Structure 1
Amino acid sequence: MKENNVSLKCEPDWDLDSEKREHYITFIVNQLTLEEKTDMIHGAGFFKTKGVERLGIPPLTMSDGPMGVRNEFYNDKWVPIGHSDDYVSYAPSNSALAATWNPQLAYKCGRNLGEEARGRGKDVILAPGINIKRDPLCGRNFEYMSEDPYIVETLVVPFINGVQENDVAACVKHFALNCQETNRLYVDTIVDKRTLHELYLKGFRAAVCKAHSYSIMNAYNKVNGSHCSENKELLDDILRDKWEYDGVVISDWGSVHTTKESASTSMDIEMSVTPDFDNYYYARPLIKAVNKGEVSEEVVDKKVKNILRLMYRLKMIGPEATDRKQGIYSNMEHWQDALDTARESVVLLKNEDAILPISPDRIKPYRMICEDKAGSKDDKLVKNNAAPVKRKIAVIGHNAEHNHADGGGSAEIKAIYEISPLLGLKKALGGNVDIQYAVGYYVPGDKDVNEVNWQEASLERQVMEQEGNEKNNKKLRKEIEKNRQKLLEEACELARTADEVIYIGGLNHDYDVEGRDRHDMVLPYGQDELINALLDINPDTVVVMVAGSPVQMPWLQRVKALVWCYYSGMETGDALADILLGKVNPSGKLPETFPVNIEDTVTYKNGQSGKEDVITCEEGIFTGYRYYEKEHIKPAYTFGYGLSYTSFEISSITVKLCDDKNAAQAIALVSCELKNTGDMYGADVIQCYVGDVECSVDRPIKELAAYQKVFLEPGESKKVQLYLYKDAFEFYDVKKDDFVIEPGQFRVYVGDSLDNCEAAGYITV
Structure 2
Amino acid sequence: MKTFIFNLCIGTALSICTTYGQTAETTPIYLDDSQPIEARVQDALSRMTIEEKVRLSYAQGKFTSPGCSRLGIPELWYTDGPHGVRAEINWNDWGYSGWTNDSCTAFPALTCLAATWNPELSGKYGKAIGEEARYREKDVLLGPGVNIYRTPLNGRNFEYMGEDPYLASEMCVPYIQEVQKNGVAACVKHYALNNQELWRNHINVQVSDRALYEIYLPAFKAAVERGGTWTIMGAYNKVRGTHATHHKLLNNDILKGDWKFDGCVVTDWGAAHDTYEAAMYGLDLEMGSYTNGLTSESAFGYDDYYLGKNYLKMIKEGKIPMEVVNDKVARILRLIFRTAMNKNKPYGSMTTQEHYQTAYDIATEGTVLLKNGNRKEQAGLLPLQSDKYKRILVVGDNATRNLMTGGGSSELKPKNFISPLEGIREKFGNVIYAQGYMAGRDMFGRVDEIPQSVMDSLRNDAITKAADADLIIYVGGLNKNHQQDCEGGDRLSYNLPFGQDELIRSLAKVNKNIVVVLLSGNAVAMPWLDEVPSVIQGWYFGTVTGKALADVLSGEVNPSGKLPFSYPVKLEDCPAHAFDALCYPGDSINEIYREDILVGYRWYDTKKIRPMFPFGHGLSYTAFDYSKPMASAKKMKQDETIKFTVKVKNTGKVMGKEIIQLYIGDEKCSVLRPVKELKGFQKITLQPGEEKEVTFTIGSDALKFFDETQHKWIAEPGKFKAYIGSSSSDIRGTVSFELI
TM-score (normalised: structure 1): 0.88
Aligned match of 2:584: 609
- Following superposition, the deviation at residue 665 of structure 1 comes to 7.6
Aligned match of 1:157: 173
**Cα deviation per residue 1:704-723 (whole Å; 9 max; x = unaligned)?**
11110111111111111122
Aligned match of 2:358: 337
Q: Does 1:486 align with 2:441?
A: no
What are the residue-to-residue correspondences of 1:73-152 with 2, within 5 Å?
73-152=89-168
Aligned match of 1:623: 599
Q: Secondary structure at the match of 1:61?
A: strand
- Following superposition, the deviation at residue 417 of structure 1 comes to 1.2
**Cα deviation per residue 1:166-198 (whole Å; 9 max; x = unaligned)?**
111111011100000011010000011111011
The 1:185/1:681 distance shift into structure 2, 3 A limit, reads same
Q: Secondary structure at the match of 2:529?
A: coil
How far apart are the structure 1 equivalents of 2:352 and 2:311?
A: 44
Q: Secondary structure at the match of 1:309?
A: helix
Aligned AA (2:565) = E
What are the residue-to-residue correspondences of 1:650-729 with 2, within 5 Å?
650-657=626-633, 667-729=641-703
Q: Secondary structure at the match of 1:764?
A: strand
**Cα deviation per residue 1:38-81 (whole Å; 9 max; x = unaligned)?**
21110111111111112110001111112101111111111111
Aligned match of 1:419: 418
Aligned match of 2:479: 508
Structure 1 residue corresponding to 2:84, chosen from 58, 68, 75: 68
Which is higher, the Rg of structure 1 or of structure 2?
Answer: 1
How far apart are the structure 2 equivalents of 1:277 and 1:133?
A: 35
Aligned match of 1:166: 182
How far apart are the structure 2 equivalents of 1:313 and 1:659?
A: 46
What are the residue-to-residue correspondences of 1:88-487 with 2, within 5 Å?
88-272=104-288, 273-274=290-291, 275=293, 276-314=301-339, 316-317=340-341, 321-352=342-373, 353-363=379-389, 391-429=390-428, 433-445=429-441, 460=449, 480-487=451-458
Cα contact 2:181–2:345 (8 A) shared by 1: no
The 1:303/1:12 distance shift into structure 2, 3 A limit, reads closer
Aligned AA (1:84) = T
The 1:637/1:407 distance shift into structure 2, 3 A limit, reads same
Cα contact 1:345–1:568 (8 A) shared by 2: no
Aligned match of 1:541: 514
Aligned match of 2:10: none
The 1:666/1:128 distance shift into structure 2, 3 A limit, reads farther
Aligned AA (2:611) = P
How far apart are the structure 2 equivalents of 1:695 and 1:659?
A: 17
Cα contact 1:658–1:667 (8 A) shared by 2: no
Q: Does 1:58 align with 2:83?
A: no
Aligned AA (2:650) = N
How far apart are the structure 2 equivalents of 1:59 and 1:96?
A: 34
**Cα deviation per residue 1:419-447 (whole Å; 9 max; x = unaligned)?**
11111111223xxx321111101222389
- Following superposition, the deviation at residue 657 of structure 1 comes to 4.0
**Cα deviation per residue 1:693-747 (whole Å; 9 max; x = unaligned)?**
1111111101011110111111111111122233321111223322221122210
How far apart are the structure 1 equivalents of 2:107 and 2:585?
A: 29
How far apart are the structure 1 equivalents of 2:344 and 2:28?
A: 14
Q: Does 1:597 align with 2:573?
A: no
How far apart are the structure 2 equivalents of 1:115 and 1:666?
A: 41
Cα contact 1:668–1:763 (8 A) shared by 2: no
- Following superposition, the deviation at residue 265 of structure 1 comes to 1.5
The 1:238/1:458 distance shift into structure 2, 3 A limit, reads closer
Aligned match of 1:374: none
Aligned match of 2:549: 576
Structure 1, gaps ≥5 residues long: 364-390, 448-453, 461-478
Q: Secondary structure at the match of 1:233?
A: helix
Aligned AA (2:646) = C
- Following superposition, the deviation at residue 572 of structure 1 comes to 1.5
How far apart are the structure 2 equivalents of 1:445 and 1:52?
A: 44
Aligned match of 2:728: 754
How far apart are the structure 1 equivalents of 2:441 and 2:138?
A: 34
Structure 2 residue corresponding to 1:642, chosen from 610, 618, 622: 618
Structure 2, gaps ≥5 residues long: 1-12, 294-300, 374-378
Aligned AA (2:180) = Q
The 1:23/1:458 distance shift into structure 2, 3 A limit, reads closer
The 1:718/1:586 distance shift into structure 2, 3 A limit, reads same
How far apart are the structure 2 equivalents of 1:570 and 1:739?
A: 44
- Following superposition, the deviation at residue 259 of structure 1 comes to 0.5
Structure 1 residue corresponding to 2:470, chosen from 499, 520, 543: 499
How far apart are the structure 1 equivalents of 2:173 and 2:726?
A: 23
Q: Secondary structure at the match of 1:444?
A: coil
Q: Secondary structure at the match of 2:83?
A: coil
Q: Secondary structure at the match of 1:360?
A: coil
Structure 1 residue corresponding to 2:711, chosen from 737, 742, 752: 737
- Following superposition, the deviation at residue 459 of structure 1 comes to 6.0
Aligned AA (1:484) = M
- Following superposition, the deviation at residue 87 of structure 1 comes to 0.8
Aligned AA (2:584) = S
The 1:65/1:658 distance shift into structure 2, 3 A limit, reads farther
How far apart are the structure 2 equivalents of 1:349 and 1:601?
A: 19
Q: Secondary structure at the match of 1:323?
A: coil
Structure 2 residue corresponding to 1:585, chosen from 533, 548, 558: 558
- Following superposition, the deviation at residue 298 of structure 1 comes to 2.8
Q: Does 1:526 align with 2:499?
A: yes
How far apart are the structure 2 equivalents of 1:13 and 1:136?
A: 49
How far apart are the structure 2 equivalents of 1:571 and 1:458?
A: 26
Cα contact 1:747–1:759 (8 A) shared by 2: no
Give the stretch that moved more between structures: 726-735 or 568-577: 726-735
The RMSD of aligned alpha carbons is 2.3
Cα contact 2:470–2:513 (8 A) shared by 1: no
- Following superposition, the deviation at residue 221 of structure 1 comes to 0.3
Aligned match of 1:386: none
Structure 2 residue corresponding to 1:560, chosen from 489, 509, 533: 533
Aligned AA (1:552) = A
Cα contact 2:111–2:521 (8 A) shared by 1: yes
Aligned AA (1:647) = A
- Following superposition, the deviation at residue 539 of structure 1 comes to 1.2
How far apart are the structure 1 equivalents of 2:61 and 2:29?
A: 33
Cα contact 1:343–1:575 (8 A) shared by 2: yes
Q: Secondary structure at the match of 2:303?
A: helix
Q: Secondary structure at the match of 1:45?
A: coil
The 1:297/1:325 distance shift into structure 2, 3 A limit, reads same
How far apart are the structure 2 equivalents of 1:109 and 1:347?
A: 19
TM-score (normalised: structure 2): 0.91
The 1:659/1:70 distance shift into structure 2, 3 A limit, reads farther
Cα contact 1:666–1:723 (8 A) shared by 2: no
